[in-house]
Amino acid sequence: MVLERADGSSTGSIPGLIAAIDIGTNSVHMVIARVAGNDRFEVVTRQKEMVRLGSGQGEMKQLEPDAIERGVQALTRCKSLADSWGAEVHAVATSAVREARNAQDFLVRARVEAGVVVDVISGQEEARLIHLGVLQALPVFEKRLLVIDVGGGSTEIVFGTGLNIDQPRSLKIGSLRMTRRFFPDGQVTPLALERCRRFVHEQVTGMAREVADLQHDVAVASSGTAETLAGMVLARRGESIPQSMNGATVSTAELSELVDRLAALPPDQRRTIPGMDPARVDIIVGGGVVLEQTLLALGASSFKVSDYALREGVLLNALIKDSQDPRHQLSDLRRASVFHLMELCDDDPDHSLNVARLALQLADAIGERLGLDAEARELLEAGALLANTGLFVAHSGHHKHSYYVIRNSDHLMGFTDLEIEIIAQIARYHRKSPPSDTKHSEFAALSDPDRATVRRAAAVLRVAIGLDRNHDGAVGGLTLSGGIGEEPLWISVEPQLQDDGTVPDLSLECWSANERTGLLAEVLVVAIQVTSALPS
């Protein structure tokens, strides 16, 4: 395949190009890479623009119109470059977008005007992806890592060894957020610096107590803030500043000295310090304090710089998702996190496992008529496994509690924010009122295709729950027939033979499932009857 750039020049024969776009509070940063095999990639080009998407007033609850415009224009340029290389685009948004009440204004314009579909990811998922990126940059796979990524609106912290991670955290202490709170005019007084340090320290120490038993061999700092600070430290040592800061080591004491020096200078003089990124002059003290206090609170005497972070993690994540091997780590990670949440909150996980098994059997039996693709099938399974997590809160209205538990859990890893929302809604609609775009604001906020996924998956889940009414796995399998013209769709269920060879009576299961066929009948536009069959 011969590709052409936008200017008409040939890129030559380039297999499997992927573009990852990180839409942060400060910047929009894209990296385009070539798939190199064995879940590796080779970067071919980068593009970065300081957009300051989170530049509005207040606690980043609103994206300002001019910031949205800057973000959309930056994405348009990124998409044009990606298209010129023939690269498949994967875009994620972090703190500024996930916290904004009017995030949809930006997301819709990004999709319609720039042609970029943006996944808003949770802070915990952001931490996981950053960790993946770091593993690509430094020879630390076998070491116990502490990874710190100081962004504009939030700071992500994660401990991990290899592909296994512990206690991912996202704290609302970023370089831009701290600057606006403590140094709004760009000037840093000794009192403001002390207040900023105290505030960040308080935010981090609570988390530090929770992870006190986790150890690390090496601390790694990623992000532009860390690279800029490390460059200035190297210059202060009298060393030349390399083109890439990857692997550079800086002591926490050196970082503290640098922060004190930066704070003592007015912005125009900070600009002249060797290693300073001019685009970060106004926010570098805030970012420096966040990194300094996080390292101190977590007992790190030094850190290494990784010039790979979120966007490179997105690249690797995309490669993993495209893998055809169902045993792949990402699939394992997603499933493991679902099972972990189920085991934490569900006092009868065997029932949930049976329901998920039956839901998938039914979805597969209906096939194309149902319209659930492989990705939606996975979300159905997750929703089925987690449908009863709300019982952890209370039995009454537990379907609503399940939505809350899933939506606000820190345990679901490997999923986008939208995927978690869909899983939560599938679980929420496993009983009682069906989804309604006039009565339920969360359902109405979904796109038409996503609403269809929730309705279809919830319809199947309701019937599957009925088929395990006794919570004993009595139904072993099912077959479908009919459903053509005016003829009902017959769901014939077979009993699971007991260990003693007896055949369970499925009359209660059939009755319960028939009581729950209403939504599925609406989705398929056909009458449905559930009946039992003798074992084959």
> What is the pLDDT at residue 195?
97
pLDDT-based confidence at 202, cuts 50/70/90?
Answer: very high
pLDDT, the chain, mean: 89
Sign of CA dihedral 12, 17, 74, 243: negative
Nearest alpha-carbon partner for 175 in 200, 150, 157, 199: 150
Residue 12 pLDDT > 60: no
Residue 37 pLDDT > 80: no
Compute the distance between CA of residue 123 and CA of residue 95 in angstroms, rounded to an integer.
7
Compute the distance between CA of residue 181 and CA of residue 111 in angstroms, rounded to an integer.
32
What residue has token string 């593009």?
47
Residue 186 pLDDT > 90: no
Model confidence pLDDT, tens digit, residues 416-429: 778 889 999 999 99
Residue 55 pLDDT > 70: no
Sign of CA dihedral 412, 418, 419, 421: positive
Q: Is residue 389 within 8 Å of residue 396, measured between CB atoms? A: no
Model confidence pLDDT, tens digit, residues 86-133: 999 999 999 899 889 899 999 999 999 999 999 999 888 899 999 999
Which pair of structure tokens corresponds to residue 48? 């970065």
Cα angle vertex 219, ends 217, 222, to 5°?
150
Nearest alpha-carbon partner for 367 in 456, 442, 248: 456
Q: Is residue 480 within 8 Å of residue 365, measured between CB atoms? A: yes
pLDDT-based confidence at 529, cuts 50/70/90?
Answer: very high
Compute the distance between CA of residue 508 and CA of residue 467 in angstroms, rounded to an integer.
8
pLDDT-based confidence at 499, cuts 50/70/90?
Answer: confident
Return the minimum-mean-pLDDT range out of 7-11, 51-55, 136-140, 369-373.
Answer: 7-11
pLDDT (average), residues 255-272? 96
Compute the distance between CA of residue 39 and CA of residue 29 in angstroms, rounded to an integer.
22
Which pair of structure tokens corresponds to residue 463? 């019937």
Residue 15 pLDDT > 80: no
> What is the pLDDT at residue 59?
65
Model confidence pLDDT, tens digit, residues 322-377: 654 433 444 566 788 899 899 999 999 999 999 999 999 999 999 999 999 988 99
Neighbours of 535 (CB within 10 A): 12
pLDDT-based confidence at 9, cuts 50/70/90?
Answer: very low
Residue 54 pLDDT > 60: yes
Which pair of structure tokens corresponds to residue 15? 């297999």
> What is the pLDDT at residue 500?
77
266, 271, 274, 280: CA torsion to nearest 10: 110
**How large a percentage of the chain has pLDDT more than 90?**
70
Return the minimum-mean-pLDDT range out of 55-59, 176-180, 302-306.
Answer: 55-59
> What is the pLDDT at residue 11?
37
Compute the distance between CA of residue 262 and CA of residue 268 in angstroms, rounded to an integer.
11
Nearest alpha-carbon partner for 146 in 86, 83, 230, 211: 211
Amino acid code (one letter) for 17: L
Compute the distance between CA of residue 52 and CA of residue 95 in angstroms, rounded to an integer.
12
- Give the max Cα distance, the chain: 85
Compute the distance between CA of residue 228 and CA of residue 243 in angstroms, rounded to an integer.
12
Start-to-end CA distance of the chain, whole Å, equals 52
Q: Is residue 387 within 8 Å of residue 466, measured between CB atoms? A: no
Return the minimum-mean-pLDDT range out of 66-70, 149-153, 252-256, 329-333.
Answer: 329-333
Compute the distance between CA of residue 84 and CA of residue 47 in angstroms, rounded to an integer.
13
Q: Is 332 strand, coil or helix?
A: helix
Domains of the chain listed by start with CATH number = 2-120 (3.30.420.40), 124-314 (3.30.420.150), 323-532 (1.10.3210.10)
> What is the pLDDT at residue 335?
83
Which pair of structure tokens corresponds to residue 164? 């296994």
Cα angle vertex 89, ends 426, 128, to 5°?
60
According to DSSP, the residues that pair with 4 across neighbouring strands are 10
Compute the distance between CA of residue 234 and CA of residue 250 in angstroms, rounded to an integer.
8
Compute the distance between CA of residue 379 and CA of residue 367 in angstroms, rounded to an integer.
16
Q: Count Cβ atoms within 10 A of the Cβ of residue 363 and give its class: 0-12 exposed, 13-18 middle, 19 or more buried.
A: buried
- Whole-number Cα distances in Å, 338 to 20, 243, 334, 411, 488: 26, 42, 6, 8, 35
Nearest alpha-carbon partner for 310 in 463, 122, 449: 122
Neighbouring residues of 524: CB distance < 8 A, sequence distance ≥ 6: 366, 369, 370, 483, 489
Neighbours of 2 (CB within 10 A): 9
Nearest alpha-carbon partner for 313 in 128, 43, 159: 128
